[in-house]
Chain A
Amino acid sequence: MEVTREDVLRCAELARLQLTEAEIPALQRDMSRILDHAQSLLELDLEGVEPTLHGLDLPLPRREDEARATFTQAEALAQAPEAAQGHFVVPKVL
């Protein structure tokens, strides 16, 4: 499976990774090799096979919807790279 330079850049944009030019060829090569190896799955007839999404098939437990104490605003902001007036500061988006 040939992963192109454009594939790598498109995925990097979607994944919010600002790759350096030097990183791109190795990533392209490694992704191609790993996906090549995964072509083995194409041999299998998967018609009618249901996907397995979870490690263990058990009904999801339910609990009462009760309010309880969690982080305070100060705790939530304690490790913020930049905070002001009770908010996380981010670059202007508008």
Chain B
Amino acid sequence: MAWATPNSMREGLAAGDLSAEGLVQAGLARIQRLDGRLEAVLSTDAPRSLEQARIADARLAGGERGPVLGLPVVLKDNLHWKGTPCTSGSRILAGYRAPYDATVVARLLQAGAVPLAKANMDEFAMGSSGEFSAFGPARNPWDTARVPGGSSSGSAVSVAAGYAPFALGSDTGGSVRLPASFCNLTALRPTYGVLSRYGVTAMASSLDQVGPIARTAEDVAALLGVMAGADPLDATSVDLPRQEALWPLRAATLKGLRVGLPREYFGEGLEAGVREAIEGALQRFKDAGAELVEVDLPHTRYAIDAYYLVCTSEVSSNLSRFDGLRYGLSERVEGQTLAELMALTRNAGFGAEAKRRILLGTFCLSKGHYDAFYLKALKVRTLIRQDFLKAFEQVDVLATPVSPTVAFPLGAKLDDPLAMHLADVYAVGAPLAGLPALAFPAGFSAGLPVGMQLMGPALSDVRLLELVQAFQERTDYHLRTPEL
């Protein structure tokens, strides 16, 4: 059952051979069996999950069918599911329970999906490995001595280890694509605005997006289709063109497709095994009639710096809400002032990376540094965006590795924040430019998964999924599973 596809689950549910309740029980049993080793899950709420499953079973019994009806989904722990813990991987929110549903969660529930667990993550989604979780790192099912990638570490591991066929993560600078790449999964960072952020704990608001994670483009499309669309509760949300084409998803033709290969994404620092796998995957596109065209994104080398300046500045602002007064951790000492209460609580509640980013952001936004750092980064963001717009005058999509390396060993970059940031070098372009990027399995290097991403113009999300569906009809990388 662990490796059953959503399609076979739907068939089983429709035929009455399976029940949503049974799928929840199987998922919880698998978590029970494997998660001591993988640490992908921060909390489960069996009664609540089973209640949702029974509702789904009743709908199925009434003849209703749907892309996610009765199917389990794991939620990153920065997504609010009413009544359940929502820590964002931070001690400062230990004990906090979601007082309402995020819009994406509400829409999943409405479509009959069954939340199975809340997933481990880097604290407040800050990190590329999962190791900045306050509750310990999740592990890569392909090699438990390695990181699964972050920040949506637990969400990816949950799918890769067969806890559930679906998961939701969030992607600010690569946080669904990197773990998808390290764990042999397909994950979409949608165009900025396609998924509502209402009820998603904010990290960097001009970059944050919710991202669906599954094994295949078809399954990512199933999730996206029931969640996308403008939300009155999020003023930055937009409608997705051709949303109705997400289910059932049909492969697009690759014949005549112009695939741009940005030279800057294939240069120094790209691991040989990753390059080889990506070149193999590109050959499959070519074999199917696509045309490969080299293009330039000349400001790529500035992207990491621009990203981290923008991101940390927004972090310092967003994380100011955690004050020890209204919810979450509160370090109260007799006779302390209000400022002391806040400062003591925040220092006790935030981990190393959160503090580093808050302080960097505070520095970048402070008097005398605003023009030198923050404003400059915003202008570089414009140049990066223009690079992409120019490239899309020549090509339909861009294809690149997701990461310059395969999954790295636990601890390898933990004490070197700059090295950790550089793992995001290919991932931050799309968020800075607001573009959709779809990561998918593209091969293996020494037994570890290699991920490729397609980036397209704004709101081309459906098309990217249709193209990767075509790729997945011709390859079997996405069908391979780790031995557990």
Residue of B nearest to A31 (CB): B360
Known: A41-B302, A55-B192. A17 touches B330 (CB 8 A): no
Interface residues of B in 120-141 (CB under 8 A from A): none
* Alpha-carbon distance between A22 and B113 when the two chains are bound, in angstroms: 47
B347 interface neighbour in A18, A38, A46, Cβ under 8 Å: A18
Nearest to A91 among chain B residues (CB) is B338
Q: Which of B301, B341, B363, B382 contacts A52 (CB 8 A)?
A: B382
Contact B359 A12 (CB under 8 A): yes
Interface bits B310-330 vs A (CB < 8 Å: 1, else 0): 000000100010011111101
Contact B326 A15 (CB under 8 A): no
| Contact size range, B | 35 or more
Contact B380 A34 (CB under 8 A): no
Is there an interface contact between A79 and B326, defined as CB atoms closer than 8 Å?
Answer: yes
Given the interface contacts A7-B363, A52-B378, does A91 sit within 8 Å of B337 by beta carbon?
A: yes
Centre residue among B209, B325, B350 by max chain A CB count within 10 A: B325
The contact of B238 among A30, A58, A88, by CB within 8 Å, is A58
Q: Which A residues from 40 to 65 make CB contacts under 8 A with B? A: 40-42, 44, 46, 49-56, 58, 60-61, 63
Give the contact stretch, choosing among B228-236, B274-282, B285-293, B468-476: B228-236
Contact A56/B191 with A27-B359, A75-B99, A91-B336 known, Cβ cut-off 8 Å: yes
Q: Measured between C-beta atoms, what is the minimum distance from B135 to chain A in Å?
A: 19
Tell whether, in the assembled complex, residue B417 and residue A30 are in contact, meaning their CB atoms are under 8 Å apart: yes
Min C-beta distance of B483 to chain A, whole Å:
38
Cβ contact of A49, chosen from B308, B337, B355, B379, cutoff 8 A: B379
| Contact B346 A23, beta carbon cutoff 8 Å | no
A31 touches B344 (CB 8 A): no
In whole angstroms, how far apart are the Cα atoms of A53 and B375 in the complex? 10
Instruction: Establish whether residues A56 and B192, one from each chain, have CB atoms under 8 Å apart when the complex forms.
Output: yes
Residues of chain B contacted by A27 (CB below 8 angstroms): 355-356, 359
Residues of A within 8 A of B356 (CB): 27, 30-31, 34
Expressed in whole angstroms, the minimum distance between the Cβ of B414 and any Cβ of chain A is 12
Indicate if A67 sits at the interface (CB-CB under 8 A): no
**Interface pair A38/B373, CB less than 8 Å apart:** yes
What is the size, in residues, of chain A's interface with B at 8 Å between Cβ atoms? 53
Residues of B close to A38: CB separation below 8 A: 305, 308-309, 373, 377
Give Cα A12 to B344, complex, Å: 11
The number of A-B residue pairs with CB atoms under 8 Å apart is: 166
CB distance from A89 to the nearest CB of B (A): 9
CB-based contact B326/A55 at 8 Å:
no
Contact of B305 among A41, A55, A58, A63 (CB under 8 A): A41
* A17 close to B359 (CB less than 8 A): yes
Q: Are B379 and A50 neighbours in the complex by a CB distance under 8 Å?
A: yes
Question: Do A17 and B309 contact each other (CB < 8 Å), given the known contacts A49-B382, A51-B378, A79-B327?
Answer: no
Q: Contacts A27-B359, A56-B458; is A41 near B306 (CB within 8 Å)?
A: yes
B316 touching A15, Cβ below 8 Å: yes
- Chain A residue at minimal CB-CB distance from B359: A11
A71 & B99 in contact (Cβ 8 Å cutoff) = yes
A81 to B329, CA, bound (A): 8
B170-215, CB < 8 A from A: 191-193, 206-207, 209
A19 contacts across to B, CB distance below 8 A? 347, 355
Task: Report yes or no: B363 in contact with A31, Cβ–Cβ below 8 A.
Answer: yes
Residues of A within 8 A of B193 (CB): 55-56, 58
In the complex, chain A residues whose CB is within 8 Å of the CB of B316:
15
Which residues of chain A come closer than 8 Å to B446, judged between CB atoms? none
Chain A residues with CB under 8 A of B336 = 91
Name the contact of A82 in the complex, choosing from B192, B299, B332, B359 (C-beta under 8 A).
B332
For the complex formed, measure the closest distance between the CB of B306 and the CB atoms of chain A, giving whole angstroms.
7
Q: Which residues of A contact B (CB under 8 A)?
A: 3, 7-8, 10-20, 23, 26-27, 30-31, 33-35, 37-38, 40-42, 44, 46, 49-56, 58, 60-61, 63, 71, 75-76, 78-82, 88, 90-91, 93
Residue ranges of B at the interface with A (Cβ–Cβ < 8 Å): 96-97, 99, 191-193, 206-207, 209, 230, 232, 235-236, 238, 299, 301-302, 304-306, 308-309, 316, 320, 323-328, 330, 332, 336-344, 346-347, 350, 352, 355-356, 358-360, 362-363, 366, 373, 375-383, 385, 417-418, 421, 431-432, 434, 458
9 shortest interchain CB distances as A-B pairs? A55-B192, A51-B378, A81-B330, A55-B434, A18-B343, A79-B327, A38-B305, A52-B381, A11-B362
A-B contact pairs, 10 of them (CB 8 A): A16-B343, A17-B358, A35-B363, A37-B304, A41-B306, A41-B376, A41-B380, A44-B383, A58-B193, A60-B235
| Additional pairs, 14, CB under 8 Å, beyond known A34-B418, A93-B338 | A15-B362, A20-B347, A31-B356, A34-B360, A37-B418, A40-B302, A41-B380, A46-B380, A52-B385, A53-B206, A54-B236, A56-B434, A60-B235, A61-B235
